[in-house]
Amino acid sequence: MADSATTQRGNDNSLAASIRDAALAAFLVAILGFFFLALRTDIAPGGLALTTRWGLWFTAIAIVFAGRLLLNIFVFKTDKPITRVLSGTGSAAGNALPGLGKWLGRALFAFALVLPFFFITFFPSQQRQFIDLAILIMTYIMLGWGLNIVVGLAGLLDLGYVAFYAVGAYSFALLSTHFDFIGFWVALPLAGILAAFWGVILGFPVLRLRGDYLAIVTLAFGEIIRVVLLNWYEFTGGPNGISGIPKPTLFGLEFSRGEGGFADFFGLEFSTIHRFIYLYYIIFILAIITNIVTMRLRRLPIGRAWEALREDEIACRSLGINTTNTKLTAFAIGAMFGGFAGSFFATRQGFISPESFTFLESAIILAIVVLGGLGSQIGVVIASIVMIGGIELLRNIGFLSQIFGPGFDPTQYRMLIFGLAMVLIMVWKPRGLVSTREPSAVLKEKKKIGADMVAQGEGH
Amino acid sequence: MAAAAMQMPDVTGDTKKWDLDPVLTVEHLTMRFGGLVAINDLSFNVGRREITALIGPNGAGKTTVFNCVTGFYKPTEGRIVMRHGPGRQQDAIDQLTAGGHKWQTTPEGAVFLLERMPDFEISQHARVARTFQNIRLFGGMTVLENLLVAQHNVLMKASGFTLGGIVGLPSFRTAEKEAVERAVYWLEQVRLIERADDPAADLPYGDQRRLEIARAMCTEPQLLCLDEPAAGLNPRESSELNQLLQYIRANHDTSVLLIEHDMGVVMEISDHVVVLDYGVKISDGDAETVRNDPSVIAAYLGVDDEEIEEEPEIAALVVEAVGEEAAKGAGLGISPETPTRPGGKGKTGGFE
């Protein structure tokens, strides 16, 4: 029995079998694609006109044949699937270099500290674009870290995190447009508090829920907030959004041309880049605060209670932990950081509308947390850079539009790329890029805890 | 009235220590799940600084009693009183029962009505800790972290409900150091100090059982409820468990209530044994009394009470058989894991 299985397997492994299998797949594509790709009907004067697109049809067949052949050779019909080799090297690298994450974190921090000046010096022609991209990535890092408290530490799957981002943004926008004396720095804590308040409001109904039900209700809550913002025309401006949101000032100095501006005060030549650098440092500091507070909370009893809650809620209750309050604090603190990021988003854009707070945003933030590795801070950074930065860079790569035609916009394929990245990472590292857990207290020797032991909590 | 019933001397005539100075009193406890009566009018006392065993065949309702005592179930009827401080404190209990409060401090200590309290308050205020039949550790956290989570409420207060901890108050650092010291003390007691920095899920089964006891003890309980602590342990491990429980009784102000199937453990260390069958108490007394109680023997051998009454010769045979077993030093020696009892006549099964 075992012998016949191995022989069978041996036959399967031959190159001929791989090619045969790939040819079959290509044949299927040829049949299906003939009607969908090769033939196309257009409305023409006097009825429908049939046009053919043989180039597209052949390209599709060739892609499927080549893709299937490569998969067969490297994954499906080999004794050493490349996926297994990859995950092997991945974990081996993690074990061999225990300090890698720490040093990578320090290097990234040092780079982030000088990033605007790096781009000004080395890429003066594209400095504005790069710093803007850095601001965007930093915003997602901050959102990822905020969501990591709820999903990674407390283990509560939140699909509506963008709601708190929206609450923060609208809090700042409405406060600053209605009250002249409220600037960015006054509104920032208020936006955080309001978002935390909404975090508690959301927390209450979901406390009793577990698993999939928790995820669905948080998803619904995110949509409710967006739909209210869209329809409460008198208050939020509905789909028109809110414009004219003030820019942040540096101790009262505005980043404007002329008398009394930042450049004038310091005797510099006016440049719009100053404001971008300033915005970058605001979000950088906000993100670093998020990180420091989260790392600190992990070592405090509340953080340990969150992680214990993720591991076993019943055991938590038997040890006298009020699970209701513990969950609510996780929601509130996660929401607060979302609110901070939201008010930064509002001041950076100067204009907000409900369109910026769709479910897609929640999905992207969650994807960043999951891809980075639940509970891992450095993982969120890497995932943000790859997901957000990578896609924005695609936009600038000229050769893609030469291949796919001038109308090709890679950002339209971001969900496809997200999906592909998800699949690849889930094959390679099923628990995210950085899946080991660092203990929050050490007696003698710090040992990393493997992902297979760490529970994922509710809704995963 | 219920309390008066409890104070009546038991069948053996003399009043036992657990009736004079009980830490926990369960009175007329009834738990129904829909039409199923898991516990029916159960009353017993757990003596202060004693080891009390709750035994009975599978499905007798033992774990249900635990879940009621620790607040995981709300009892359908009955009163569960926990006492801090010596004596019965009957006046305070009557006063508390008449009023709407959950607990009350008294000159001796405090009294708690557990059936009114949610599970986490029972652990936090009434100081009742428990372990679980299927071990519930925080597997992805280290052994040390498990014991620190157990001291959550103390540390939470010391950290000024997190705010003081974030700014790094020295008082919190001191409290955390004390918490680690307490954890180290218990790790030494359960001989897990070498594995303090390993994830709990990495420990072998017997070590996990001991860690769960250590974690429960880190909450500094007045009453420790152990749900089958010796299940799955080998003879050497269960004799170590006996020593640990006796150490806890001797050196800490902690009373122990345990569910156990291992009669070796029960008979060796228990001061007091309560026997349940189909949610009803069938025997209550010290190990010797219970061992020789015909109704207990009948329950374990699977003979209906009516049969014993109708046919005394069966009872005689049973006692004889068990006497031989006892002589071998194996306690009752009959494995309750293999219920030999046919379906009871019109009786409802327990819930476990």
CATH topology of domain B1-127+221-286: Rossmann fold (3.40.50)
Question: DSSP class of residue A233?
Answer: H
Amino acid sitting at position B238: S
Question: DSSP class of residue B113?
Answer: E
A444 CB neighbours in chain B (<8 A) are: 196-197
Nearest to B286 by CA among B7, B4, B10: B10
Contact B199/A at CB under 8 A: yes
A321-340 tens-digit pLDDT: 988 889 899 999 999 999 99
B149 CB neighbours in chain A (<8 A) are: 301, 304-305, 308, 316, 319, 321
Name the H helices within A80-157: 82-96, 100-122, 127-147
pLDDT of residue A83: 61
Best of B152, B159, B203 to mutate (most A CBs within 10 Å, chain A): B152
The minimum CA-CA distance between A66 and chain B, rounded to whole Å, is 43
Nearest to B177 by CA among B164, B158, B162: B158
Nearest CB neighbour to A449, from listed B155, B184, B199: B199
pLDDT of residue A332: 92
Contact B155/A at CB under 8 A: yes
pTM reported for the whole predicted model: 0.79
A442 CB neighbours in chain B (<8 A) are: 142, 144, 197
ipTM associated with this complex: 0.79
B211 CB neighbours in chain A (<8 A) are: none
pLDDT of residue B335: 40
Question: What residues 212-271 of chain A have any CB closer than 8 A to a CB of chain B?
Answer: none
Contact B169/A at CB under 8 A: no
pLDDT of residue A458: 62
Contact B162/A at CB under 8 A: yes
Contact B197 A311 (CB under 8 A): no
Best of A149, A319, A324 to mutate (most B CBs within 10 Å, chain B): A319
Nearest to A153 by CA among A295, A336, A360: A295
Residue A98's SS3 state is coil
Amino acid sitting at position A70: L
Q: Is A71 exposed, middle or buried (0-12, 13-18, 19+ CB in 10 A)?
A: middle
Residue B280's SS3 state is strand
pLDDT of residue B302: 67
Residue A278's SS3 state is helix
Amino acid sitting at position B229: P
DSSP B180-222: HHHHHHHHHHTT-GGGTTSBGGGS-HHHHHHHHHHHHHTT--S
Contact B198/A at CB under 8 A: yes
What is the Cα–Cα distance from A203 to A357, expressed in whole angstroms?
20
Task: Identify whether the C-beta of residue B309 lies closer than 8 Å to the C-beta of residue B273.
Answer: no
What is the Cα–Cα distance from A341 to A40, expressed in whole angstroms?
47
Residues of chain B with CATH 3.40.50.300: 1-127+221-286
> Domains in chain A, please, with CATH?
2-79 (no CATH), 91-428 (1.10.3470)
Contact B159/A at CB under 8 A: yes
Task: Identify whether the C-beta of residue A418 lies closer than 8 Å to the C-beta of residue A367.
Answer: yes
Contact A302 B184 (CB under 8 A): no
Which residues, given as ranges, of chain A have pLDDT below 70? 1-13, 77-101, 252, 257-258, 260, 263-264, 267, 395-411, 414, 458-460
B121 CB neighbours in chain A (<8 A) are: 320
Residue of B nearest to A446 (CA): B197
What is the Cα–Cα distance from B46 to A444, expressed in whole angstroms?
40
Residue B272's SS3 state is strand
> What tens-digit pLDDT sequence spans chain B (352 residues)?
444 444 444 444 457 778 778 889 998 989 988 888 888 888 888 888 888 988 888 888 888 998 999 988 998 888 898 888 887 877 778 887 888 888 888 777 888 888 888 888 888 888 899 999 888 999 889 999 999 999 998 888 877 777 777 777 778 888 888 999 999 999 998 888 888 888 988 889 889 999 999 999 999 899 999 998 888 888 888 888 888 888 988 888 889 999 988 887 888 888 888 888 888 888 888 888 888 888 888 887 766 555 555 555 555 555 555 555 444 433 343 444 444 444 333 333 333 3
- Cα distances (Å, whole numbers) of residue A7 to A3, A4, A20, A58, A82: 6, 5, 18, 36, 21
B123 CB neighbours in chain A (<8 A) are: 317-320
Question: What residues 287-316 of chain A have any CB closer than 8 A to a CB of chain B?
Answer: 293, 296-297, 300-302, 304-305, 307-308, 310-312, 314-316
What is the Cα–Cα distance from B75 to B278, expressed in whole angstroms?
16
Cross-strand pairs, B25: B45, B81
Nearest to B140 by CA among A381, A209, A155: A155
Task: Please give the helix or strand (H or E) that residue B177 lies within, else none.
Answer: helix B170-189
A135-183 tens-digit pLDDT: 999 999 999 999 999 998 888 888 989 999 999 999 988 888 888 777 7
Question: DSSP class of residue A36?
Answer: I
Q: Which residues contact A253 (CB under 8 A, 6 or more apart)?
A: A260, A261, A262, A265
Task: Identify whether the C-beta of residue B127 lies closer than 8 Å to the C-beta of residue B221.
Answer: yes
The arrangement of strands across the sheet holding B110-113 comes to B36-47, B22-33, B77-84, B110-113, B103-105
